[in-house]
Structure 1
């Protein structure tokens, strides 16, 4: 009996949630309690498990759509129903082939079972490889995205690819992402080469099921049917059945949106071939041709970290969903390797005391002396930065803020805060909350200009952009309605957006629509800079590093004294076409007063 998957209650005040990602597609099998989809609310991002084992027969609420608590998200069909619908087809094929056999009584009875078994695999694989293969099309990667550029093919023509395994990297004006293969099979043809641009909906490649190439070869063999000895080589084609169980569930789930389920569906897809003893060697070869080895799908951030730490991804066993290798897995492996070499190193140092004279020399970057094509995202950043300076009259005002009270509050509350909310308590959420409050008092800094129409729009909500240093370049995801969030809510949203941006999981619609931007230049130790405005906004606030400096303060008893204080520079770049210097100073004054007062005890539960 079909089972309904409903939106659970994810908090006392939560009434609805947004489906951010489906981990399974229609037609795929899911086990009970296996993660089925990801849901995002104002308070938490989480995975929802399947309530029962079966086949995902229908998705009711698509990705990026919002559903109320208790509403139906999907339907899971029972095992019996799926098996009943699929079983008659093979049975009919065997009966159809069994009928012509008695027409040749001359052949000894010992050869009849051989002939009956040989055609069965051919007819079973015919539906999967009888056509021209499955088209891999460029999906819509955002509302305003109309085309994408192929940056890298992860598979070559002739390579084997699993269903949902990353197949190609695509770059657009808004996001760089990997597209998975819609089915398991062989990459038969690449229609759009690297560095070429294709429109949304265009066919990028053709993937045939694993049995498509062998299925075409045996076709001429049945021609000399009267000659019974010709049927003897038929059993040699038996390895073809190893793909019968793989393409059947995958072909029904051709709709896909994100490459994230690759690692989660890759292991189940590989299990049916492994269970058959005969084609063991071809299965091993297919596993070696996956490109990523045993590591499966690994995010760019994890690959970069593994390269920096010198960790072999193929030697790791992932602890994430579906065996995915996470960032923490790489860190743990690096720590274990360091601990293993630490003891011998300590003994070597004690044996040879003068050794510390040799200082380690940094390895030069492999980019030295190279000329390569500029990535599309880098071209977009370059174009927009120049356009911003050409469009608006930009200048920067800097103030110095004493955040000692915030530093003390943070030290008191950070352990309990992380235990309660699951994220670290940094300085950034304090700056974000104070900025949103200041924007509400000074709407001119939260506005946008339309010079052609001669109008200015004072936005009724604060959509706060957070600049993130991603592996492929600067990306600015947006916290929508940041004015409705408290300190904990901002902390969670900042951590979530930053993590998904660095792991290339951010959606195109999440990096647009901002009304004001924060850039944390102090994260790398910079005291301050002059950030460039993200058009069509009229302001961007640069947050410098929080450092302790000797500061003169007025003590009620001792007068002016010099004491160490936690200080930070805040640099506001603004559009002088609409924001005057006095407006900028008033905005920064409100911000400074809020931060130096440090009244965040209620937000921290102190």
Structure 2
């Protein structure tokens, strides 16, 4: 039975989505709720899971195509009839293989050499091998991509492969990528050699079930102990020795030391020269062996790892399904450099004072890469906001010394009681929403088509989060009804969803006012851009200690070291006047400097 995969509703105001990447190719097996494709909207990127288990029969919407909510994306065949069709030929061919297996021991020694010298001649045997195995086909690699060139095989004939393990690298006129193994088993034959070009859907190789290829290789292993040269040339004969020690432990016990003993006393013959040939094979997959435990990586990531000396087996991927991304490799390289620099820094004399940080050149220098869709969405929204609004910025300076001292006293007990850290951010959000209640002109929206203004009766605060994909703004719904603890928990929850790629479109929609903590990266203040459909955004600058003139009730005017920060309000001058902005900022300043939050944080 065919199951239709449709584009689900991805948010209250989301009407369409763009397919950015298919995680499965046509003909591949998918499980229920397994990520099937990635979809991008104007609010968030998300994954669409498979509604049922089966085989991806056909893809209806190609990558980079945009469709409306409810449109059919693909069809999954639950395979109710497929297993029966596949089991029938398998049973019919089983007896044919049984008699064929009897003459093979006699012909095996003669067939070993040609099988190794001309692996491409295995194509005529494809019907027999293909009947027992799974075909590896060239998947669709883009909307306009019709063919691809095999640049490198990561596995050799006779090697074991795991499901979704990188099998080969393919190059097209648009991108270089890896093709994963559709199933686990033994690579029986390679039908398309390196540097050969094949069309989309063409058969590239055949993978058989585990134990199929070793069963045929066991026959020459027993009667021909003297054929040590073929054993060295054909690594697939070594696998059966490891897989089947149980049936004949007594004869294999002497057989195992025999090749070692023969190899040691007989380095003189010519067969000793081919020995480096199999040694060269492990050298090629050496990086792949280290990457076998890691997630699926692209050729670009592997190349970047090699250039920076990063072992992919030690890198934890943050991509889909744990895949290692370029940013993960860059982060691992920077961490390694910091570890190497740490001993040198420790050895430096303490009296040397502050030193300039070591500046390393980014691996992105000199590269031209495709602009991510998230960056396009951010850019479009920013240009839309700048071109559609009359924006300007007002700035005030705030003394938050009392809040910082209060936070230091309460942060340990607060974290133990509430389960989240107490950062300065919730104090700013609390002050901002209290001021919005008194100044609704900043918490409003201009309805250009109707020529009206909507003054919101709730404070839904967008929190700008610096994510790996770009700036994202999840929304704290009803922030005006939350206390410091509630704001802290909600902020931590939304930021965690953004950084783990679990944010939903509903979490990103409905903001009436936005707060951006640009000071978290050291900026004193910033002229932040007002998002579309809003009229104000508050930018929080870095908190620094500075000498400030303080009017003390007893000491009069004196100079003291205080914790100071800048608050920058960008606003749409079509609705908010400069006086309105100044009044709002003054209210926020007064709330923060008063610092009456003791009861909310447990002091």
> Which interval holds the TM-score relative to the shorter structure?
0.5 to 0.7
Q: What's 2:377 paired with? A: 380
Query: Is the alpha carbon distance of 1:453 and 1:317 closer, same or farther for their aligned partners in structure 2, counting shifts above 3 Å?
Result: closer
CA shift in 2, pair 1:410/1:191, >3 Å = same
The counterpart of 1:152, out of the listed 17, 21, 38, is 21
Structure 1 residue 440, shift from structure 2 partner: 1.0
Distance across 1 between alignment mates of 2:306 and 2:554: 57
- In the other structure, the counterpart of 1:588 is 585
Shift of 1:211: 9.2
Q: Residue 529 of structure 2 aligns with which residue?
A: 532
Aligned pairs (5 A) from 1:260-271: none
Please give the alpha-carbon distance, in whole angstroms, between the structure 2 residues aligned to 1:449 and 1:425.
35
In structure 2, how many angstroms separate the alpha carbons of the residues matched to 1:241 and 1:183? 24
CA distance in 2, matches of 1:153, 1:440: 46
The Cα offsets for residues 218-270 of structure 1, whole Å up to 9 and x where unpaired, read as 6568999xxx9669799999x9999xxxxxxxxxxxxxxxxxxxxxxx9xxxx
Preserved contact between residue 46 and residue 504 of structure 2 (Cα < 8 Å): no
Deviations 1:64-110 (A, max 9, x none): xxxxxxxxxxxxxxxxxxxxxxxxxxxxxxxxxxxxxxxxxxxxxxx
Q: Which residue of the partner structure matches residue 544 of structure 2?
A: 547
Structure 1 residue 568: Cα displacement: 0.5
| Match status 1:431 vs 2:300 | no
The alpha-carbon distance between structure 1 residues 293 and 459, as it changes in their structure 2 partners (threshold 3 A), is farther
Which has more radius of gyration?
Answer: 2
Q: Normalised by the size of structure 1, how large is the TM-score? A: 0.58
Alpha-carbon deviation of 1:364? 2.4
Matches of residues 347-386 of structure 1 in structure 2 within 5 Å? 362-366=360-364, 368-372=366-370, 374-386=371-383
In 2, Cα distance between the equivalents of 1:579 and 1:340? 51
- Aligned pair partner of 1:175 in 41, 44, 56: 44
Deviates more, 1:334-343 or 1:464-473: 334-343
Counterpart CA distance in 1 for 2:501 and 2:509 is 16
C-alpha contact 1:214 1:240 (8 A) present in aligned 2: no
Q: Distance in 2 between matches of 1:231 and 1:279?
A: 15
SS in 2 for 1:141: coil
Q: Give the aligned partner of residue 401 of structure 2.
A: 404
- Counterpart for residue 447 of structure 1: 444
Query: Does residue 140 of structure 2 align to residue 140 of structure 1?
Result: no
CA distance, structure 1, for counterparts of residue 336 and residue 390 of structure 2: 53
1:445-482, Cα deviation, whole Å (9 max, x unpaired)? 11222344343222111111111222222222111111
Q: Match for 2:473 among 467, 476, 479?
A: 476
Tell me whether 576-585 or 482-491 shows the greater mean CA deviation. Answer: 576-585
CA deviation string 1:544-574 (max 9, x = no partner):
1111111111234443322211100001112
* Structure 1 pair 142–605 and aligned structure 2 pair: CA distance change class (3 A): same
Question: In the TM superposition, what whole-angstrom CA distance separates every residue of 1:388-446 from its partner, at most 9, and x where no partner exists?
Answer: 22332222111000001111111111111111111111111000001111111112211
Give me the whole-angstrom Cα distance separating, in 2, the residues matched to 1:358 and 1:551.
Answer: 28
Distance of aligned partners of 1:310 and 1:449 in 2 relative to their CA distance in 1, 3 Å threshold? farther
List alignment gaps of at least 5 residues for structure 1: 1-130, 243-265, 267-272, 283-288, 351-356
Distance 1:469 1:359, change over 3 A: closer
CA distance in 1, matches of 2:394, 2:472: 24
Segment drifting more, 540-549 vs 160-169:
160-169
CA distance in 2, matches of 1:308, 1:426: 39
Deviation at 1:312, TM superposition (A): 6.0
Match of 1:198 among 59, 67, 75: 67
SS of match in other structure, 1:456: strand
Q: How does 1:179-190 map to 2 (within 5 A)?
A: 179-190=48-59
Task: Decide whether the 8 Å contact of 1:166 with 1:297 is kept in 2.
Answer: no
Q: Secondary structure at the match of 1:462?
A: coil
User: RMSD across aligned C-alpha pairs, in angstroms?
Assistant: 5.1
Kindly report which structure 2 residues correspond to 1:302-381, keeping only aligned pairs within 5 A, or say none: 362-366=360-364, 368-372=366-370, 374-381=371-378
Residue-pair matches, total: 423
Shift of 1:491: 0.4
CA distance in 2 between counterparts of 1:560 and 1:149 reads 62
From 412, 416, 422, the equivalent of 1:415 is 412
Q: Distance in 2 between matches of 1:162 and 1:311?
A: 33
Out of 489, 494, 504, the residue aligned to residue 492 of structure 1 is 489
Structure 2 CA distance for partners of 1:341 and 1:163, relative to 1, 3 Å: farther
Q: TM-score, normalised by structure 2?
A: 0.58
Q: Which residues of structure 2 form unaligned runs of 5+?
A: 102-127, 135-163, 165-183, 186-207, 213-287, 349-354
